[in-house]
Chain A
Amino acid sequence: MDEKRAPAPAPFLIADTMPDTDAPEAAAKLVCRSVWKFFGPDADRLGRAADEGTLRPDELDGATAVAAVRDVSLSIREGECFVIMGLSGSGKSTLVRCMSRLVEPSAGEIVFDGENLLSASEKRMIEIRRRHMGMVFQNFALLPHLTVLGNVAFPLEVQGVGRSKREARAMEMIALVGLSGREHFFPRELSGGQQQRVGIARSLAVEPDLWFLDEPFSALDPLIRREMQDEFMRLQSVLKKTIVFITHDFDEAIRLGDRIAVMKDGAVVQVGTPDEIVLAPATGYVSEFTRNVTRAKVVKVSALLSPAGDVSPADVAGEVSDRATIAEAAPLFGESGVRLLVRGRDGAIAGVLERDRVAAMMMRG
């Protein structure tokens, strides 16, 4: 918790560590198709109706069941950090538990690496969870009777990995999250932030392909939360996992997410990159969240691109990556620069960034 990520010196550096999710070839890792989850006595009947497509909206009002997840279709791409954002009761925790079948969806399909999880046997599910999935919990869910080492090694122990091998691997993970030297502490001897580091190390011990984080930083103090977010970004820049990240904090969502799904009353209201959501909120509900966001810190240069035409090198004040934020690009204009040359990931010229457009956007806040 001590080494904070150094402030990024140049926009290019940050941009290069971000996974490239916009590339069209990024394969879908996990796909949800029309997933429903009902709770209550009528749940089974409504689930069947939803599967057959005969569910009418008015049926939900009179029924003695609550739809915690309503007709959610999502596609989570390989290597991206997909954030599901919603207030409490919006169904986000239920949705993420449907994805790993901790909660059995009432209707729909969950396809993981081309395999429909809802038709997998319980044995196959155990196998998938053991080898391919990891999860971090809001309240850490550390086993109180095991030490840090025992907790981190626990998923491997469950798989039957030998003692020396699993402890070596656990020590690696403990070092990765910066807890070396505390292997023999019990969870209650650690601070909240440290406990969550243990939770993160444990979820990574099996090298999961799909990493679920269920409000991992919500139970922490604001300062620690910020620190843990930095730590998380550092880890992700090294590990490049496919992530499903749940949060109720919109700032956290735009800070960490490559794409964000906003949920309300069990349904997904909008899916998009942070830019798209901030610049074009789909509903009044979403704009409630975006209203207080400093756009320049979220919006990427690529969103304000103008055609390059034939600019001469003398005309431009500098160069910037199209994945830098406007706030990062602005200082490059200097006192009197009028435009910046924007280059894409491949280094080719993507266009120019005009001072006027930047100014206009920053004026709007």
Chain B
Amino acid sequence: MAAVGPAETARAGWPAAPSRGLVVWIVALGAFALLWANAATLAPWAQEWPRAWTPRIAFSISAFMRWLVDEATSGLFTFTEFTRFLSALVEAPYRFVLAILSTGLLSGQGSQAVQIAPPVSWAGIIGVFVIAAHAADGRRLALLAIACLGFILVFGQWDSAMVTLASIVVAVPAGAVGGLLLGLAAYRWRAFERAISPVLDLMQTIPIFAYLVPILFLFGFGPVAAILATIIYAMPPMTRIAVVALRGVAPEIRDLGRMTGCTPRQMTWRVMVPAAMPGLMVGVNQVIMLSLNMVIIASMIGAGGLGFDVLSALRRLDFGAGLEAGVAIVALAVLLDRTSQAFAKTTVQRAHADGAGFATRHPYLLAALAVVVASFLAGLVLPPLARWPEAWELSTGTFWSELVRWINVNFFDELEAVKNALLLNVLIPFKRFLLGLPWLGVALLAGVAGWTLSGFRLAALSVALSTLIAVSGLWEEAMTTVYLCGLSVVFALMIGVPIGVWSADRPRVWRVVQAVIDTLQTLPSFVYLMPVVMLFRVGDFTAMIAIVAYALAPAIRYTAHGLHQVDPKLIEAGRAAGCTPFQLLVKIRLKLALPEIMLGVNQTIMLALSMLVITALVGTRDLGQEVYIALTKADTGRGIVAGLAVAFIAIIADRLIAAGAARARARLGLSGQGGS
């Protein structure tokens, strides 16, 4: 590490003699204090970037988009024709899959449409999933398939779930293939990789809402736009994983391909892609999970299905209905996740089958076909087999709503007291403090932090990005974001780290905790909002609780993981030296787990930021709100600028913490290993 000198000489914590780093900090803090005290009078531009100086970035972007749609042409075709072509490319397969799963084959338009063939019935679809699950991993997975789909069916979520499934069936192959192609290009041409790498970084940090806006603008409102947004969202991780998987192919396999005289095309499709298949399947699994993550958000631009149910339940504050639709999404996610993972494993471990006929080689395929046909015929005789009767549907929705109402009725005063105490004593003072800071001083401090943690480049990056935020005129919103996010992260850590420490040593507790945080992480983030809104009504406090609940998982996970990773020999050494359990924890285990815990902090911040935009729905006044307003007005420029501002905050936090973790790791001599 070419780290800056000072802390290297210190063994741990602060250096004994005033070193360069300390001096820089003292000077920086002094300058900051001066700025803070006098900026308002001496240099008002350092306190608040003058509106007149703010370039109209948002306006220019919007104008550019309008130009794209109205006038841009490549000579052969206009840009609008191009976007229409893309829509058609997505729409045709979507309509087809939707017809099979949900609407049936229709002839005619709109309300005059006549069904010429019914969709595959619930019995047929469950049958196909069970057979696929059995083919992938045997009876246990088949039972899971029955449980998941059975839940969806019995709780009346079937129709919505099929609409969601249809968009996933279209989005996943497109995202996987698109990601693979980008990955292949990046693997082949270093320059291309260097070009897209920062774009991928940005796409993963920018809140999804921000690119919903241009998509909405270009492709209109509807399932097609939603599918396109899903594809774009799911592609970057696939690209990354594809590059890693291709790089991981043994060099000898590459040599083999060249020695047998493969042309570049044969090399790619006959050698590299098949050899990288296990890794690529991990990417496909990621694409599936990310597509499901997008379900609710995509419903804001017209995806329909389960996501729309959650969203409208949120608008009606119908917690029960929202929870059921949310759990249905989780059920779908669990099923698709496990099945795709199991398939990934079986393709790797396929056993030989001596030259047998088609039927013996593909028993599952034939069984699935048979089930579809049989369910269709059975549906003709017994209508409930084709369509689950509404009278048989269950709902726990009212129970949950009643529960929340009961709490509200009986504990209103207590809840209100807690909320007000926190608001008045912590939230509002902290917010005031942050909003009062001069932007120049904050940028300066971020730069100094970057310099001490890593070096000049990070310092320059931090200063540049914070200045850009100020220049864009969104400083106040950005600081509100930092305040909400920062406080939430602090609370999440205050709760999460002790739980992590407590459960790390107790395997049985850890299993329970792990199950809980796994569920928390797969549950769509919107579902958190509802009970909190019902208990505390809209406002910053509600948003904070939702963020804390969502961001808790990584704080717990990384803490426990870091403690698990500590070398047992060192613990033994500590015990031999006569440490009490508490000393052992504080002096050895937590110290060594620090880099891992810092990664947890990083993840917590990232999740908190991604939750921010969603909490805009409950009336916060931060960058998330900015993006949300832009979305409702289809104001591309405003959305992108606010989205970028969130991304900048994320990048600064991410780089600073990553540098800190790297330094801690280097100091502990744990170089290289561990990591994400």
Which chain A residues have a beta carbon within 8 Å of chain B's beta carbons? Answer: 97, 100, 102, 126-131, 133-135, 137-141, 143-147, 154-155, 157-159, 184-186, 188-189, 206, 212
Contacts and interface: CB of A to CB of B under 8 A. Distances in A.
B263 A126 contact: yes
B266 interface: yes
A129 B255 contact: no
Nearest to B270: A158
B259 A185 contact: no
Given A131-B261, A145-B277, A185-B352, 16 more contacts: A102-B259, A126-B262, A127-B261, A133-B259, A134-B259, A135-B255, A137-B256, A138-B252, A139-B252, A141-B252, A143-B271, A144-B274, A158-B270, A184-B354, A189-B352, A206-B260
Given A138-B252, A141-B256, A158-B266, A186 B352 contact: yes
A145 B274 CA distance: 7
Contacts of B349: 188
B350 interface: yes
Contacts of A144: 274-275, 277, 348
B255 A130 contact: no
B275 A159 contact: no
B2 interface: no
Contacts of A139: 250, 252
Q: Which 4 A-B pairs have the closest CB atoms?
A: A130-B261, A141-B252, A155-B260, A129-B261
Given A143-B275, A185-B352, A158 B255 contact: no
B258 interface: yes
Which of B259, B263, B351 has most chain A Cβ within 10 Å?
B259
Nearest to B261: A130
B253 interface: yes
22 contacts: A102-B258, A102-B259, A126-B261, A126-B263, A127-B261, A128-B261, A129-B259, A129-B260, A131-B261, A134-B259, A135-B255, A137-B255, A143-B274, A144-B277, A145-B274, A145-B347, A146-B274, A154-B270, A155-B260, A158-B262, A189-B351, A212-B259
Contact of A143 (B253, B258, B263, B354): B253
B355 interface: yes
A127 B260 CA distance: 9
B350 to A, nearest CB: 6
Interface string B267-288: 0001100110100000000000
A135 B256 contact: yes
A137 B252 CA distance: 7
B258 A129 contact: yes
B380 interface: no
Contacts of A157: 270
Interface residues of B, number: 26
B277 to A, nearest CB: 6
Nearest to B349: A188
A307 B275 CA distance: 62
Contacts of B271: 143
A184 B355 contact: yes
Interface in B342-377: 347-355
A133 B413 CA distance: 85
B255 A97 contact: yes
A188 B258 CA distance: 23
A35 to B, nearest CB: 18
B180 to A, nearest CB: 16
B255 A102 contact: yes
A138 B256 CA distance: 11
Contacts of A155: 260-261
A157 B347 CA distance: 22
Nearest to B355: A184
A159 B261 CA distance: 8
Given A141-B255, A147-B352, A184-B355, A154 B250 contact: no
B600 to A, nearest CB: 36
Contacts of A185: 352
Contacts of B262: 126, 158
Nearest to A159: B261
Contacts of B274: 143-146
Contacts of A126: 261-263
A100 B250 CA distance: 19
Contacts of A102: 255, 258-259
A158 B260 contact: yes
A154 B271 CA distance: 10
A212 B275 CA distance: 23
Contacts of B261: 126-131, 155, 158-159
A173 to B, nearest CB: 14
A159 B274 CA distance: 18
Contacts of B263: 126
Contacts of B348: 144
Contact of B259 (A100, A143, A186, A189): A100
A283 to B, nearest CB: 31
A130 B263 CA distance: 10
Contacts of A135: 255-256, 259
Contacts of B256: 135, 137, 141, 143
A134 B258 CA distance: 11
A137 B501 CA distance: 49
B260 A154 contact: yes
B351 A186 contact: yes
Nearest to B354: A184
Contacts of A128: 261
A130 B258 contact: no
B204 to A, nearest CB: 31
A223 B275 CA distance: 30
A143 B253 CA distance: 7
A226 B347 CA distance: 34
A212 B274 CA distance: 25
Interface string B440-474: 00000000000000000000000000000000000
Contacts of A134: 259
Contact of A141 (B250, B270, B354, B355): B250
A185 B350 CA distance: 10
A189 B350 CA distance: 10
Which of B266, B350, B352 has most chain A Cβ within 10 Å?
B352
Contacts of B252: 137-141
Nearest to B347: A145
A134 B261 CA distance: 10
Nearest to A160: B266
A355 B250 CA distance: 54
Nearest to A127: B261
A308 to B, nearest CB: 49
Contacts of A100: 259
A95 to B, nearest CB: 14
A105 B263 CA distance: 21
A141 B262 CA distance: 15
Contacts of B351: 186, 189
Contacts of A146: 274
Contacts of A189: 351-352
B260 A130 contact: yes
A70 B230 CA distance: 55
B352 A184 contact: yes
Nearest to B273: A145
Contacts of B350: 186
Nearest to B255: A102
Nearest to A151: B256
A155 B347 CA distance: 23
A39 B556 CA distance: 46
A130 B350 CA distance: 29
Nearest to B251: A141
A206 B261 CA distance: 11
A157 B355 CA distance: 19
B365 to A, nearest CB: 19
A154 B277 CA distance: 18
B353 A184 contact: yes
Interface in B232-257: 250, 252-253, 255-256
A130 B257 CA distance: 10
A97 B255 CA distance: 9
Nearest to A157: B270
A207 to B, nearest CB: 13
